[in-house]
Amino acid sequence: MQEQDSVKSPSWKRRMHRFQPSVEVERVEELNEALILSELSYADSVEEVREGLNALYRDGSSSSSSFSLSNSSRPHWELLFCDTQSRPNQPSHFLAIQKNSSKYDDALHILMVVRGTKSMSDLITDAMMEATDYEIPVPGNDNNGSSIRGKAHSGMIQSGQYLVQRHKKLLSTLLKLSNKQKIEVTLIGHSLGAGAATIAAMEWN
């Protein structure tokens, strides 16, 4: 029926959104926060990143920063690590830890935001665009040794694996010191950073 209507009426595609499920406001707010954090990853200094995180949840009417969210129920992040200088296959990124989590929460919440292309080093990573074999084990204890195989951008594979190796020991130490049962990492990235963050997420899983 939809296909027939699309042929009869060119305006059908413009009206298709009426039949799509609605998006919850909370979901839109999460996406907006991710957009702001992605923009913050392009900051030129550690202090700018730290100030951006501190200003994130101030009242927008009283803050001069362009980074501002008014919803105080969202996670509040404290800067843990920041590297504003990228190198080939080692993207600029920052880590933050949630400072307003409930004491009854059994998880340690970590945020990783990965910058996209900004410097010559990033362009070198972008240029390593060969489709390389990529394989990861199927998550879970009952995977019977099965794995997921595919192709991925060579530079992004190396960048994502670098992020995991760079912070594996740090996150393990933080989890131990926090006395939490598990760790949950939220990964956000833009452009090159999104690809690297995706690889990192699969590596961690």
For the chain, residues with pLDDT lower than 50 are 60-65, 70
User: How much is the pLDDT for 61?
Assistant: 39
Phi and psi at residue 171, to the nearest 5°:
-65, -35
What letter represents residue 24's amino acid? E
The whole-number pLDDT of residue 60 equals 47
CA distances from 87 to 20, 126, 156, 179 (A): 43, 12, 13, 34
The per-residue pLDDT for range 146-200, each reduced to its tens digit, is: 888 999 999 999 999 999 999 999 999 999 999 999 999 999 999 999 999 999 9
What integer pLDDT is reported at residue 64 of this predicted model?
A: 42
Phi, psi of 75 (to 5 degrees): -60, 140
Beta strand 182-189 pairing with 107-114? parallel
User: Could you identify the residue written with the tokens 């900004």?
Assistant: 118
